[in-house]
């Protein structure tokens, strides 16, 4: 846990969130400012600041994130329609919370390219 990290505090239960899934590796909760009918954040329990800080020992973790994103999309019934898993890295990438996370967006038609 990193002190003064919002997502570490949510993972530790110190700040409330609408949690919909959790396991040993990650926690999944609703984004406070949803950009789609389903907008969830998949957040590793381990504090990793950005995509640039991943190491080979995190490969299982990142694979697990995508497995769980696919399971949630399937369970919520929009997997076949389609969905998006997004990671924003650093300022120009749109990152605003410096604890690695993946957005799961679903249940609407998503445009491309993103803004």
Query: What is the Cα–Cα distance from 72 to 59, expressed in whole angstroms?
Result: 20
Taking residues 2 to 21 in sequence order and writing x for each that binds Zn ion by CB under 5 A, - otherwise, the string is: x--x-xx-------------
Cis amide bond preceding 80, omega within 30: no
Query: Can you read off the two tokens belonging to residue 18?
Result: 């609408």
Which lies closer to ligand 5GP via its Cβ, residue 11 or residue 41? 41
Helices and strands counted in the chain (H then E)? 3, 5
Helices (H), 17-79: 59-76
Which lies closer to ligand 5GP via its Cβ, residue 70 or residue 89? 89
C-alpha to C-alpha distances, 19 to 14, 53, 78, 91, nearest whole angstrom: 13, 25, 19, 27
Q: Is 101 in the active site? A: yes
Instruction: Report 49-108 residues binding ligand 5GP (CB under 6 A).
Output: 88, 94-97
* CB 105, min distance to ligand 5GP, A: 10
User: Does 47 sit near Zn ion (CB under 5 A)?
Assistant: yes
Binding site for Zn ion (CB under 5 A): 2, 5, 7-8, 47, 99
Residues making contact with ligand 5GP (CB under 6 A): 6, 17, 29-33, 41, 88, 94-97
């Amino acid at each position: 846990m990193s002190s003064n990290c919002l997502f570490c505090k949510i993972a530790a239960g110190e700040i409330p969130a609408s949690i919909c899934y959790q396991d040993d590796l990650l926690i999944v909760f609703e984004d406070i400012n949803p950009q789609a009918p389903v907008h969830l954040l998949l957040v590793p329990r381990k504090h990793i600041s950005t995509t640039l800080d991943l190491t080979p020992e995190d490969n299982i973790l990142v694979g697990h994130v995508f497995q769980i994103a696919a399971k949630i999309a399937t369970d919520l019934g929009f997997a076949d329609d389609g969905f998006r898993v997004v990671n924003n890295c650093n300022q120009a990438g749109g990152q605003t919370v410096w604890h690695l996370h993946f957005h799961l967006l679903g249940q609407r038609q998503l445009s491309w390219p993103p803004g």
